[in-house]
Each structure stands twice: as structure tokens, then as C-alpha cells.
Amino acid sequence: MHFALRPQLHGHETFAAFAEAQTLGARDLIFTQRILHKTFMQDSAAQVLFYDDFCDGEPTDVAVDEMLTAIRKMDFDRLVAIGGGSILDSAKVLALDSEVDVAGLFEAGVQPSRKAGLILVPTTCGTGCEVTCVSVFDFPSIGSKIGKAFDAGFADHAVLVDEFLSKIPYPVFATSSADALVHAMEIYLAPKATPYTDMFCMAAIKSILEGYMRIVEHGRESIQQDARAYLIASNMAGIALANVLAGGVHAIAMHFGSVHHVPHGEATRLFLPPVFKIYYRKAPEGKITEIAQLITEILKVPQDGTNPFDALDSLLAKVVPTKRLDEYGMTEGDRRPYAAKVIETQQRLLVNNYVPLSDKDIAAVYTDLM
Ligand SMILES: [Fe+2]
């Protein structure tokens, strides 16, 4: 058994309070989006590099290569990445002490040290990647997103700033928080889960589901009151993720998201209900009953034989609506080749499944969502 909590954690209400606490100055390089910088950081003396000058969606290997070329010409002591998962994942690689490109960095056994301090500040409440060492990039030439854990990818400091959730667009909030829910639910069931990851996962699941119920009961305004709770929940799920990888939902989402250009949180949210319904059907005893019980309590599921994962599906349909797979461009004939591709490219994640998923199971997941 092994459990580690690497970065120091900090929480601040505002960017100004964070900047003062970390004494951000001219030797720091803020890596963020233009809109975030304009909204929250205009008074900062730190240097700045904009993610959106290289990429307008999730990072590809090609875009990160261009970021590497740019940042290697800059002189700074600390890299301060402020953004969603795309920006934080890119920053972990940008802070490495190396002269090779992304393809070289992703080769097995390549583990450069860090050339600068690294501070990661999430502006969404989902990926938890401020506390992990994994970077996930899209490799269009392979047709899949691939993740790699870098030993030096752990930040020195992970900082939760409430203010950054104050202007988050609802769809970004919805899909990112759903991704945190997926992390917590998948890792709770993973064969390598420990009592420590269990504790963080259960707390995250409870907090997010209670928040979702408040959205249903009191409206979307409740997100602002719950901002810190969502940031902490996604961070807790991230702490679990730093120790145990996610499983089948992520495996299927990684491939689908790459082929149909679907943002990560939207893709994982899509596949959560059908995969968990298969788990619950195949192995209704064991740890999944603890998640089922928690869902039953928080969602007030009637004790009349209603499947708690059907109730979860209905809640997600209200809070994090998505489309049918054919609306993303997938066809019936794609199911078997997609399933084969998931099994071919995502073994790193599939080994963490609660129960094994065959190619037929994965094809059935697609059928459920067509
Ligand atoms: Fe995720």
C-alpha cells in the first residue's frame, strides 16, 4: 500500500490574496488564458504567457511543442499556471528541464527534472490535476488522448482560489464537476484503492451530489455559495487520482473525446452512467453497494427497487445535460471498431476497472447512449 500527498495545499478567497501570499513578481511567469488575466490579474507584475496563443481547445502534442519552443526562450524562476486542466497539464510539461519535444517526453522511461518552481491554480472544479503529476494530451496522429505521469510533474504548491469560480460559465462548471465525480466514483471501485483514497473519494462524491441536489432544488445560483465546496471536492478526488488511476469510464472517454473533439469532462460524464450500470449488474455485491447506498440517501431514491444508478442518470441529465452519441457524429457501425480501439490504446486505465469490461460490454455502453 502506498499513499502520498505531494503539493502543499493553500486556499485564498481572491487572486490578490494569493499573489500577496506567494509574493508574485517579475521573476514569475503566469501561464493562463487572456480572459482570465484581463478579469483577475491585470495588476500583476509577473511575466505572462497565454495558452490561447497556441491552442483554442484541449492541448495537442503539436500545440504543446509550440509552447515548449516559446517558453524555452523565457527567463523565470517560477511557473504559475492558472486555468483549467488543459493549462495545468501543459504547465507540468513546460516546467520540465528538457530540450526534446512532446513525443520525446512521452517515450517510456523519459523523466526529466524540473527547471523552475511550479504553482498550479485551478479555475474549474473538476480535473483535480493541480495535485496530480499526469499530463494528458491529444495525439491526433494516433487518434487518442494519451496521459503520462512525470515524476517532476507534481507542483510545489496547489492553490484553490474561490474567486476564479465566480465567473465560470455554467457548462464548464457542470462538465468539470462531473469529471471530479467520475474520478471519485471510479477510484473508489478501483482494485488498487486504499482506505486513504476511499476517504477522499467518498467525501468528494457526497459533496458533489449534495451540491447537484441544491442546484435542482434552488437553481444554478447555489454554485456560488458552494464554490469552495466544489473546489475542495475536485481537489480531494484529485488527491485520490494522484495515487490510483481512473478506470473504464475514462478509458472510453479518452478515445471518444479525441475522435469527436468532445471536452474531457463532457466525455467522462457521458459514459459514467452506462459503465456503472454494467458494473452494478455484473457485480452488485461489494464496494459498489456503498456508492449505491450514498446515492440512495442523497438523491432520496425510493426503496421500491429503483436502481440508484438510474436515479444518478436522471440527476445528471438535469444538472449536466449531454447529447446522444449520434449527435456527436458517431454511427452504429462505429461501436465495434471504437471498442477495439479503446482496448488497444487504454490498457493503462482499463486495468483499474471494478470488473473487466469486454469489447461487447464497451459496445453495449455505446448502444445505451445512441
Ligand atoms: Fe478526468
Residue-wise pLDDT tens digits, 83-126: 999 999 999 999 999 999 999 999 999 999 999 999 999 999 88
User: Separation of 302 CA from ligand 1 center, angstroms?
Assistant: 30
User: Separation of 241 CA from ligand 1 center, angstroms?
Assistant: 9
Within this chain, do residues 225 and 151 fall inside the same structural domain, yes or no?
Answer: no
Within this chain, do residues 182 and 126 fall inside the same structural domain, yes or no?
Answer: no
The residue segments making up the domain with residue 199 are: 170-369
- Please report the pLDDT score of residue 269 as a whole number: 97
Within this chain, do residues 174 and 159 fall inside the same structural domain, yes or no?
Answer: no
Within this chain, do residues 37 and 160 fall inside the same structural domain, yes or no?
Answer: yes
Residue 1 lies in a domain: no
Q: How much is the CA Rg of the chain, to the nearest whole Å?
A: 20
First CA to last CA across the chain, in angstroms? Answer: 40
Contact assessment for residue 209 and residue 295, using Cβ atoms and an 8 Å cutoff: yes
User: Separation of 265 CA from ligand 1 center, angstroms?
Assistant: 6
Within this chain, do residues 191 and 330 fall inside the same structural domain, yes or no?
Answer: yes
User: Separation of 145 CA from ligand 1 center, angstroms?
Assistant: 12
User: Separation of 245 CA from ligand 1 center, angstroms?
Assistant: 10
Within this chain, do residues 74 and 198 fall inside the same structural domain, yes or no?
Answer: no
Report the C-alpha gap between 241 and 127 in whole angstroms: 9
Say which amino acid occupies 173.
F
Within this chain, do residues 334 and 306 fall inside the same structural domain, yes or no?
Answer: yes
Within this chain, do residues 216 and 249 fall inside the same structural domain, yes or no?
Answer: yes
User: Separation of 23 CA from ligand 1 center, angstroms?
Assistant: 32
Give every residue of the chain whose pLDDT is below 50, as ranges: none
- Report how many domains make up the chain: 2
Task: Supply the CATH number for residue 104's domain.
Answer: 3.40.50.1970
User: Separation of 272 CA from ligand 1 center, angstroms?
Assistant: 11
Q: Give the helix/strand (H/E) hosting 160.
A: strand 157-161
Angle at 345 between CA 339 and CA 347, to 5 degrees: 95
Task: Supply the CATH number for residue 290's domain.
Answer: 1.20.1090.10
User: Separation of 184 CA from ligand 1 center, angstroms?
Assistant: 10
Say which amino acid occupies 181.
L
**Three-class SS of residue 190?**
coil
- Please report the pLDDT score of residue 55 as a whole number: 93
Sheet containing strand 28-32, edge to edge, reads 8-12, 157-161, 117-122, 78-83, 28-32, 47-50
Residue 258 lies in a domain: yes
